[in-house]
Amino acid sequence: MKLSAYFAALAIAASSVAFAQEKTLVIAGTGGASQDAARKAWYEPFSKEMGVRVVEDEYDQKLSQIRAQIEANNVKWDVATVPILVLYAGCAEGMFEKVEWNKLLNPADFGEPLSPCGVPVVNSSGVLVYDADRIKDGPKTWADFWNVAKWPGKRGLWYGPQETLEVALMADGVLPAKVMEVLAGPGGVDRAFAKLDELKPNIQWWKSGSESLQLLGSGETVMSYAWNGRVAAANQADKKHLRMVWDAGHVNGSSHLVILKGAPHKQTAIDFIKYAASAPAQARYAEAIPYGPPNTRALDLVPATLRDQLPTAHLETAQPQNTQAYADFWTEHEGELSERFARWVSK
Amino acid sequence: MSASWATHQTLLAAVRRSGRARSLRAALLVAPAAAFLAIVFLVPIIGFMLRSVDNWEVPEALPRTSVTLADWNREGLPNEAAFSSLVLDLRALDGASAAALARRLNYSRTGLRTLILKTRASADAIEPEKARAALPALDSQWENQDVWGTLRNESSALTPFFLLAALDLSRDAAGAIHPSRDGALYREVFLRTFGISAAVTSFCVLLGMPLAFYLAAAPTKVASLVLALVLLPFWTSVLVRTTAWVILLQGQGLVNQLLLGLGLIAAPAKLIFNRIGVYVAMTHVMLPFFVLPLYGVMRRVPREHLRAAASLGAPPLLVFRKVYLPQILPGVMAGALLVFVTSLGYYITPALVGGPSDQMVSYFVGFFTNESVNWGMAAALGSLLLAAVVGIYVALAGPANINPARTV
């Protein structure tokens, strides 16, 4: 009796020691098709190669959950995927661990120096989409998107000022690369709202990526602004023929991987981010879902047929979000413009 | 005589003692639940109400400036001491605190974020004694009375800024309160919220009373089946129910196809992403909340009263009006109040099936909590909604003698 108890205690002690030695990493992703792709391309290979137990979580890509964890001193996530404005705001307020990424990675691969707060790993675009099955002669520019006479029906737009005001300016004839300059300049916002006024009775607002595709699929909208990865996923899964009009101009931005301040497994997090930003891992991700790899070396590893579907192949017509001008303008004016948009949209 | 009086007194005392013991036992039984409610319910509510007036960022980041500005009489520009203390305060700030301060001041006046961060970046190079000349040279906004007025308004630990903004009011540099220059938004939203909730309550009353009456009058077997059908929606997620309405009511949805097939309409009717969709979906979700309390009350109305009234010669309508309705009125009022108050806070249903002019207060609370991370504004809108609900309850429940306990 005593001997078996002794062995049982020994077995428990041994297993708990083994458990404690296994490394863990908690990652908060975007959910949906993007997270499935990340799992295939990054989490599972990383877990196998480095012997790390990867625990996934997902959240709504807003700063509030990160801030709540840090303020409560109860940081559960090591790594999080964040959009550009969340990176900017969180970095300024010291919510992310600062790491010398320019020394650990090669900034030349990414085309520009890396922020100490995070590394870009996913490049995606919001683009003009229409169903080629329903419309044979489709729109070619954002001005066509506004042309209700030629293509009657509702148009889908994101329910918020961000990205929507940029699209309105592109429809008003502003070149994609110059949109931020015009928007931040005198009268830019008024010009965008005036242009939106023209289309307003025909706009169907959507609040989530899947809603935009659902509206297109059911025919509630004849054309829509939507995010390119979701469109490709719908084409693949639902056998649809949704066409993306890159040449009209698209709003292009990156998601970054960041380490939360006070993360429990900081070194493992650094190793993971280095892994996910490496060319082979980035190429695997692009193959799983057509979001462009910020690491330009990865483009060489991607099959040529896929390269055309990636936003990084169409950067000449991109309205870039990864600029200081974009981050400054929207961080400053987000509250004011959201209220103005709410007032405008309910009239 | 006195012996029976003494016995009477002892009996009375004994009854009172046992009554006290019973009350004490009842209090002890309720105590754990009361403590749980106090911790889990009252503490967070008081916490967020305090958050709507909490202004910790500014006094913490600008201690000296807050003190010097307190003496300013709001005319012209503040004295030199204010400029120097601003430079000293900004020098002492670390990056994270400066960003928090900039974000907070930007809520009160757009443009202050860039101004504060820009000034802080140059603060080390400015000598405090020369600040009065150096700051306006750095940026002309430092000569603007409105900028200093905003700093003065926001430099105390408690601020009415969020509560005022939630009512579309603002304070100018002189400290006077007047309607916000941008126009009314939240007042309209509050009115819309109360309007939609009142409409949904009316629909629930119109649909729920016959249903509850049928439930109360039907034989037990049938009544149990119908009751189970009424309860079935409770076991389905509200999100699933709401999304199902989208599929039913959309342009190519089942309802439109039925109407088109029957030839009642020529083109698909717009039933979703507008007020109609909101009313339909919310009534569907709220109906069980009304039917169940009313059913409880209706079941306890003695049938004999109705039969007696009829036998005394009253026509059915008079029986209903004079005998039945007064007895079920507490149940109707309690159910209506429950539906009204729950509808006020409803977020997901109007967000999914409503159009842009159907968003209720809770949508904005959610927006400020998650997207804009402006928790002061979210707390202010929530506190005002809570105050309105408490006000309505006090105003209606007293005179109408609504006591939800009476439905049990």
Domain co-membership, A246 together with A294: no
Of A89, A343, A345, the CB nearest to B182: A343
Residue B251 sits at the chain A interface (C-beta within 8 Å): yes
A343 close to B (CB below 8 A): yes
The tokens for B76 are 């012209």
In chain A, positions 242-301, which contact chain B (CB-CB < 8 Å)? none
Of B96, B99, B185, the CB nearest to A342: B185
Separation CA A30–CA A36 (nearest Å): 10
- Residues of chain A in contact with residue B360, where contact means CB-CB under 8 angstroms, are none
- B-chain CB neighbours of A60 within 8 Å are 370
Together in a domain, A260 and A246: no
3-state secondary structure B368-392: HHHHCCCHHHHHHHHHHHHHHHHHH
Q: Are A340 and A165 spatial neighbours (Cβ–Cβ below 8 Å)?
A: no
Alpha-carbon gap, residue B220 to B214, rounded angstroms:
11
Considering the domain architecture, whether residues A170 and A132 belong to the same structural domain is answered as: yes
Q: Are strands A242-245 and A118-131 parallel, antiparallel or unpaired?
A: antiparallel
Contacts of B95 in chain A (CB under 8 A): 92, 94
Residues A337 and A202 placed together within one structural domain of the fold:
yes
Same domain (yes/no): A184, A331: yes
Are A201 and A61 in a shared domain? no
Q: How would you classify the pairing of strands A155-158 and A52-58?
A: unpaired
Rounded to two decimals, the ipTM of the complex is 0.77
Residue of A nearest to B371 (CA): A62
**Minimal CA separation from A110 to chain B, in Å:** 27
Q: Cβ contacts (< 8 Å) between A327 and chain B: which residues? A: none
Q: Where does the pLDDT of residue A19 fall: very low under 50, low under 70, confident under 90, or very high at 90 and above?
A: very low
Across the range A277-300, mean pLDDT stands at 88
Q: Which structural domain, as residue segments, surrounds residue A74?
A: 2-123+253-318
Q: Is A335–B106 a contact, with Cβ atoms under 8 angstroms apart?
A: yes
Same domain, A185 and A137: yes
In chain B, where are the structural domains located? Answer: 1-37, 57-158, 186-407
pLDDT value of residue A10:
58
CB contact under 8 A, B373 and A63: yes
Angle, alpha carbons B301-B302-B303 (nearest 5°): 110
Number of folded domains that form chain A: 2
- A160 plus A73 within the same structural domain: no
Are residues A238 and A93 both part of a single domain?
A: no
- CA A307-A312-A314 angle, to 5 degrees, is 90
Whether A203 and A240 share a structural domain? yes
- pLDDT score, position A189: 94
Selected for mutation to probe chain B from A85, A200, A339, A340 (highest B CB count within 10 Å) is: A339
Contacts of A67 in chain B (CB under 8 A): 373
- Tell me how close the Cα of B341 comes to any Cα of chain A, in angstroms: 24
Contact: A218, B114; criterion CB under 8 Å: no
Q: Do B185 and A339 touch (CB under 8 A)?
A: yes
Same domain for A260 and A144? no
Note the pLDDT of residue B76.
Answer: 84
Q: Using an 8 Å CB-CB cutoff, list chain A residues near B99.
A: 89, 92-94
Contacts with B369 from chain A: Cβ below 8 Å: 64
Evaluate if residue B320 carries a pLDDT over 90. no
Tell me which architecture the domain covering B186-407 has in CATH: Orthogonal Bundle (1.10)
Cβ-nearest to B370 among A64, A95, A345: A64
pLDDT of residue A4: 55
Q: Which of A100, A24, A78, A59 is nearest to A269 (CA)?
A: A78
Predicted confidence at residue A156, as pLDDT, reads 95
CATH of the domain at A7: 3.40.190.10
Specify whether A183 is located in the same domain as A314: no
Q: Does B369 contact A338 at a Cβ distance shorter than 8 Å?
A: no
Q: A312-345, pLDDT tens digit by residue?
A: 878 888 888 888 888 889 988 988 898 899 889 8
Question: Is A117 in the B-facing interface, judged by CB distances under 8 Å?
Answer: no
What is the least distance, in Å, from the CA of B320 to any CA of chain A? Answer: 44
Which has more confidence, A19 or A42? A42
Average pLDDT over residues B119-142: 88
**Given CB atoms, is A238 within the 8 Å cutoff of chain B?**
no
Size of interface A-B (CB pairs under 8 A): 73
The answer to whether A347 contacts B357, with C-beta atoms less than 8 Å apart, is yes
Q: Using pLDDT thresholds of 50, 70 and 90, give the confidence band for residue A17.
A: very low
A206 Cβ neighbours under 8 A, 6+ residues apart: A156, A157, A158, A159, A212, A215, A224
Q: What is the pLDDT of residue B408?
A: 44
